[in-house]
Structure 1
Amino acid sequence: MTALQFPCTLFKTQNRMDDYSAKDMRCGDLTAEQLKSNYGLVDISTRANPYTLTKVTPFTQPQSMFYGSRGEGEKISRTQCANILFDELRDLSRLFSVYGPYKHLIKRMITHMQNGNGKPFSSMHLDNALKMHIVNEKTENSTLSKIKYALNENINWKAGIYPVKDKNEFRKAILEGKLPKFDRFQDNFNGMGITVHDTWATEITIKNLQIDNNHYQAVLHYKVQDHFGLDVNDISKFRFNQFRFFRIWFVLQRYDKFNFKPFMTNMETTIEITGVRN
């Protein structure tokens, strides 16, 4: 009987890592006319009009009683307009990151979009958020529960090995569970729902497995990737479109006059698990 060799990849999502062809990674591909007519993106900012490159004042806001009485607002450059929109985006982000150790992350990631030119983003805080999510998920559907189940069911205790022929049992078990995603109720307010929310790609590796008497000890490595970008499906949904935050974000990313690049958000963590023979 052949033993599984380590490190060994237990699971990979169908979505692959570093997929720059994904729909939410597009940028600078829509005209002002398309943004207005296809997605209803007319009222973007309370501070600057990205289409006319003018500052917004009470006299230039359509809902104002003073609208039109003083002509257009002060002309600004494209760079000035983008800077104003990014500042407004950071201010509006407070709606989605009210409390907790991760609430500062969204501002850092907005600034990374402004200045990072599409470079991947990682942070110890993101790695820690991933670890806390995985170890605190106590349901039977969690990936840790599913991996423990596969180990318990398939370890050959007599030989002290995990048979290579049963490697696919890990994948089958994980597919029946729920991968770590930041779509819980608390993630709407703790900064993780707005920075990550759903995830694009996940890889789970077992780095080491020791089987001794009737005990095992395994070291797992999780690598998770998300895209900090919006696609047309996002902005077409009322729950996104109703918020000025997402309207500004979409215009900064997709308007051909701005073309700010979305980026890959990378998270990883190592977790040790132990178990005993049933």
Structure 2
Amino acid sequence: MTALQFPCTIFQTQNRMDDYSAKDMRCGDLTEAQLKSQYGLVDVSNRVNPYTLTKITPFNQPQSMFYGSRGEGQKITRQQCAAMLFDEFRDLSRTFALYSPYKPLIKQMITHMQYSNGKPFRHMLLDSALKVHILNDRSEKNSTRILLAKTFKEKTDWKNKLYPVTQKDELRKAISEGRLPKFDRFQDNFNGMGITVHDTWATHITIKSLQIDDDHYRAVVHYKVQDHFALDCDDISKFKFNSFRFFRIWFVLQRYNQFGFKPFMTNMETTIEIIGSRNEI
């Protein structure tokens, strides 16, 4: 019987890694008229009007009792306007990152969008969050780690101390039957991971090694996950996004043809061990 050779990639999502053609990766493609008429983005910022490039004061804010009494606000440059929008963007992010070690990530990612011209983003806190998520998922139906452990136990050729190449697809099926790690749990609404990653775009899972000794096995499994720090038109059309000034500013900074700040790939990786035995219950 032929043994499966390692490292071996056992799962890849249909969505590709580094897919810059994805619809949420567009930038600078919408006019003022489109933003206002199609997406209702008239009231964008509390501090500046991105369309007229004027600072907002109580005298030129439509909802203010002082509106219109002193004409337009102070004129600023497009660069100054963008800087003010990014500052407000960062300030508003605090609502989504109230606690946890991951709290600083959202501000760092907003700043990355401001200055890094679309370069991919990587941070050890993202890798850590991914690892903790995988290890803490104890759902027998959803955990890819637990489902892989079950497959190693049941499909290993214990007599010859190998994992048969003919059973490779069982590993892919195990992953497919579970739930890939995503940051859409209740706690992710407040710990900073829901706003930085939330859902994910692409996932690759690779078994780097598998050792089988007597009645025990030890697998080293690598997870590579990618998300897009980006908004598409479907996102901003949803009430739960459009109702937050945070997302309205984000969308205008990314998609307004006078700004066009580039979205970017968010990369996460981690390696875990799965250890078990033939007689494990």
CA distance in structure 2 between the partners assigned to 1:39 and 1:153 by the alignment: 53
Aligned length: 278
Alignment partner of 1:101 is 2:101: yes
Off by >2 Å, runs of 4+ in structure 1: none
1:223 is matched with 224
Query: Residue 73 of structure 1 aligns to which amino acid in structure 2?
Result: G
Alignment partner of 1:270 is 2:271: yes
1:252 is matched with 253
Aligned-residue offset at 1:75: 0.3
CA distance in structure 1 between the partners assigned to 2:151 and 2:53 by the alignment: 59
Q: Following superposition of structure 1 onto structure 2, how do residues 139-154 of structure 1 map, counting pairs within 5 Å?
A: 139-140=139-140, 141-154=142-155
**TM-score (norm. length: structure 2):** 0.98
CA distance in structure 2 between the partners assigned to 1:246 and 1:65 by the alignment: 26
CA distance in structure 2 between the partners assigned to 1:153 and 1:38 by the alignment: 54
Alignment partner of 1:7 is 2:37: no
Query: Residue 70 of structure 2 aligns to which amino acid in structure 1?
Result: R
Aligned-residue offset at 1:71: 1.0
Aligned-residue offset at 1:66: 1.0
Aligned-residue offset at 1:173: 1.2
Aligned-residue offset at 1:273: 1.1
CA distance in structure 1 between the partners assigned to 2:133 and 2:158 by the alignment: 31
2:90 is matched with 90
**TM-score (norm. length: structure 1):** 0.99
Query: Residue 123 of structure 1 aligns to which amino acid in structure 2?
Result: H
CA distance in structure 1 between the partners assigned to 2:270 and 2:75 by the alignment: 48
RMSD (Å) for aligned C-alpha atoms: 0.5
SS state of the match for residue 17, structure 2? coil
Query: Residue 92 of structure 2 aligns to which amino acid in structure 1?
Result: L
Query: Residue 148 of structure 2 aligns to which amino acid in structure 1?
Result: I
Report sequence identity in percent: 75
CA distance in structure 1 between the partners assigned to 2:236 and 2:153 by the alignment: 45
Offset from partner CA, 1:99-126 (integer Å, 9 cap, x none): 0100010000000000010000000000
CA distance in structure 2 between the partners assigned to 1:49 and 1:89 by the alignment: 14
Offset from partner CA, 1:197-243 (integer Å, 9 cap, x none): 00000000000000000000000000000000000000000000000
CA distance in structure 1 between the partners assigned to 2:174 and 2:133 by the alignment: 19
Q: Following superposition of structure 1 onto structure 2, how do residues 65-84 of structure 1 map, counting pairs within 5 Å?
A: 65-84=65-84
CA distance in structure 2 between the partners assigned to 1:35 and 1:150 by the alignment: 50
Offset from partner CA, 1:225-274 (integer Å, 9 cap, x none): 00000000000000000000000000000000000000000000010110
Aligned-residue offset at 1:186: 0.2
Aligned-residue offset at 1:68: 1.2
CA distance in structure 2 between the partners assigned to 1:153 and 1:242 by the alignment: 50
Aligned-residue offset at 1:18: 0.2
Query: Which stretch shifts more, 64-73 or 37-46?
Result: 64-73
Query: Residue 200 of structure 1 aligns to which amino acid in structure 2?
Result: W
CA distance in structure 2 between the partners assigned to 1:52 and 1:256 by the alignment: 14
Query: Structure 2 stretches of 5 or more lacking a match?
Result: none
CA distance in structure 1 between the partners assigned to 2:149 and 2:10 by the alignment: 12
